């Protein structure tokens, strides 16, 4: 529990932290480029995705990926489509395809999702479902301060699922992905809730931890390593009860930057 003082859960780092969620892999494969960045209330990630998709989905690479899909599933009648943007369009409710036809097309997309642009196509067509999952979980209300953080995490987890399941043949691919996404997102929210409770306990004051804490031995193991400085600062924060402002002053760093550094160190090496 002592780690909670310096290891506040950083939901804004979820896209970068592979160990926690694997979201980074999914984002790199499914949405190349700086599209899914950390959101604030003023950042429209869904809008950014649509803008990026309008560009990516009409490239020569997208037309080549469409040929891969056509050759894989000639029975779907995709020959009249020009690019992957057209694939997303026909998957919309007003796209002229029946429910069964749309389900078969999404099944084919997952089967061909080892192609990065096809995986991106699947993510794009499932955006309304991802938002619906977030809505079912109230966007982490009472746990996550900014609902857009929950949406960002959900997009990362959806990307991860598509990467993990690429090549599988699932008749009900879309409901399966959304069901798995709901479970993963709920587990993430529960972890955030538990960490928030630990944090609130430690933020009540700056009383030092007891010297018999097992954390002490862990911090001592970093002596002489590249993490010696941050381990020392962690020790002073946890065991000596020094305030963040005081530590930042002696370290000649900004309190906000030092807080983020302590959090990152705790998450990567102490939790």
Q: Report d(CA 38, CA 149) in Å as an integer.
A: 7
> Shortest CA distance to 213 belongs to which of 48, 34, 6?
6
Ranges 42-56, 73-87, 152-166: which has the least confidence? 42-56
Q: Six-digit token pair at 103?
A: 């389900």
Best-predicted range by mean pLDDT (28-37, 84-93, 194-203): 84-93
Q: What is the full DSSP assignment across 26-72?
A: HHHHHS-SS-SPPP-TT--HHHHHHHHHHHHTTSHHHHHHHHHHHHH
Q: Report d(CA 187, CA 15) in Å as an integer.
A: 16
pLDDT > 90 in the chain, percent: 45
Domain assignments of the chain as residue spans, ordered by start? 6-201, 207-269
Model confidence at 147, in pLDDT bands (50, 70, 90)?
A: confident
Per-residue pLDDT for 240 more than 90? no
pLDDT of residue 239: 77
pLDDT digits (tens, 9 = 90+) for 187-226: 988 888 876 655 444 444 445 545 555 777 788 888 888 8
Q: Report d(CA 245, CA 223) in Å as an integer.
A: 24
Q: Report d(CA 120, CA 122) in Å as an integer.
A: 5
């Amino acid at each position: 529990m002592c780690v909670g003082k310096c290891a506040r859960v950083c939901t804004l780092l979820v896209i970068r932290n592979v160990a926690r969620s694997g979201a980074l892999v999914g984002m790199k494969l499914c949405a190349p480029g700086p599209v899914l960045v950390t959101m604030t209330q003023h950042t429209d990630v869904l809008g950014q995705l649509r803008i990026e998709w309008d560009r990516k989905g009409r490239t020569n690479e997208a037309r080549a990926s469409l040929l891969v899909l056509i050759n894989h599933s000639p029975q779907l009648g995709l020959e009249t489509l020009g690019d992957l943007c057209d694939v997303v369009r026909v998957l919309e409710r007003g796209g002229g395809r029946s429910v069964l036809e749309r389900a078969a097309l999404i099944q084919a997309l997952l089967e061909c999702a080892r192609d990065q642009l096809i995986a991106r196509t699947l993510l794009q067509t499932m955006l309304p479902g991802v938002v619906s999952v977030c809505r079912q979980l109230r966007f982490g209300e009472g746990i996550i301060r900014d609902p857009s953080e929950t949406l960002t995490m959900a997009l990362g987890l959806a990307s991860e699922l598509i990467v993990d399941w690429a090549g599988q043949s699932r008749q009900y691919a879309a409901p399966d992905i959304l069901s798995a996404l709901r479970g993963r997102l709920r587990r993430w929210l529960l972890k955030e809730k538990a960490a928030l409770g630990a944090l609130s306990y430690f933020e009540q004051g700056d009383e030092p931890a007891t010297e018999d804490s097992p954390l002490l031995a862990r911090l001592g193991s970093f002596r002489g390593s590249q993490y010696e400085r941050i381990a020392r600062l962690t020790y002073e924060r946890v065991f000596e009860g020094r305030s963040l402002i005081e530590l930042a002053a002696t370290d000649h760093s900004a309190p906000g930057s030092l807080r983020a550094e302590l959090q990152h160190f705790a998450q990567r090496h102490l939790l």
